[in-house]
């Protein structure tokens, strides 16, 4: 019975993936972008790579760096714990490192989510 359900789910999933069609975006041309930039008071050489995109790249790099630090701390704490050989001081040190790195990751993800979701929502409501 389980195998029949698994086969049915797999076949239906493959069917829905096969039904997906291509979607094409409308090419607005460069004139619309240049006219909008001029009307908004920006320089005429303004393109899609603006300050916001550059800032996004910096934030993405910083979050990647935080992820690398988190992974390194978890591996280090795991190594300490596995090589403790029953020494409670080393096990406690490994537990502290794990707890502190998880707290740091939660703070970082929380700050990013506040910046990415809450601030635009507040700005949208106050701008109306």
Q: What is the CA radius of gyration of the chain?
A: 25
- Classify residue 24 by its DSSP letter: -
- SS3 label, residue 65: helix
Q: Closest Cα partner for 80 from 96, 62, 66, 102?
A: 96
User: pLDDT at position 102, please?
Assistant: 95
Residue 75, judged by CB atoms within 10 A of its CB (0-12, 13-18, 19+), counts as: exposed
**Confidence check: pLDDT of 81 > 70:** yes
Residues composing the chain? 128
pTM score of the predicted model: 0.55
**Confidence check: pLDDT of 28 > 80:** no
């Amino acid at each position: 019975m389980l195998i029949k359900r698994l086969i049915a789910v797999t076949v239906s999933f493959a069917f829905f993936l096969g039904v997906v069609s291509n979607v094409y975006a409308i090419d607005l041309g460069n004139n619309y972008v240049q006219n909008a930039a001029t009307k908004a008071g920006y320089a005429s050489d303004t393109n899609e790579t603006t300050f916001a995109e550059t800032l996004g790249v910096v934030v993405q790099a910083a979050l990647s760096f935080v992820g690398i630090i988190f992974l390194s701390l978890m591996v280090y704490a795991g190594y300490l714990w596995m090589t403790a050989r029953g020494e409670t001081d080393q096990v406690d040190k490994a537990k502290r490192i794990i707890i502190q790195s998880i707290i740091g990751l939660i703070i970082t993800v929380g700050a990013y989510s506040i910046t990415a979701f809450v601030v635009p929502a507040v700005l949208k409501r106050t701008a109306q």
